[in-house]
Amino acid sequence: MDLGLTDKVVVVTGGASGIGRATVEAFTRVGARAIALDRDPEALARLAAETDGVETRELDVTSAADVDAAIDAVVERHGRIDVAVNNAGISRGLGWFHDTDESHWDAVIDVNLKGIWLCMRAELRHMYARRAGVIVNTASAAGLRGAPGVAHYVASKHGVIGLTRTAALEYAPLGIRINAIAPGTVDTAMSDSFAEARRADPFADALVRQPHPLRAAAAADEVADGILYLAGDLSTFVTGSVLSVDGGFTAQ
Residue-wise pLDDT for 106-121, tens only, equals 999 999 999 999 999 9
Residue 1 lies in a domain: no
- 210: domain range? 9-246
Is residue 196's pLDDT more than 90? no
The helix (H) or strand (E) run that includes residue 244 is: strand 242-245
How far apart, in whole angstroms, are the C-alpha atoms of residue 10 and residue 27? 8
- Rounded mean pLDDT of 64-92? 98
Q: Does residue 203 have a pLDDT over 80? A: yes
Q: Is position 252 within any domain?
A: no
CB 236 within 8 A of CB 176: no
pLDDT at 211 (0 to 100):
87
Strand partners, 10: 34, 83
- Band (pLDDT 50/70/90 cuts) for residue 49 is very high
What's the number of domains the chain is made of?
1
229 catalytic residue (yes or no): no
Whether pLDDT at 132 is above 70: yes
Q: Reduced to 3 states, what is the DSSP secondary structure of residue 188?
A: coil
* 197 belongs to a structural domain: yes
* Window from 50-54, 55-59, 134-138, 171-175 with minimum mean pLDDT: 50-54
3-state secondary structure of 224: helix
Q: What is the β-pairing status of strands 83-86 and 134-138?
A: parallel
pLDDT at 242 over 70: yes
- Among 128, 153, 171, 229, the one annotated catalytic: 153
Check which CATH number belongs to the domain holding 105 and give it: 3.40.50.720
- Residue 159, SS3? helix
Helix or strand holding residue 155 (H, E): helix 151-171
pLDDT at residue 23, rounded to an integer: 98
Mean pLDDT, all residues of the chain: 95
- What's this model's pTM, rounded to 2 decimal places? 0.95
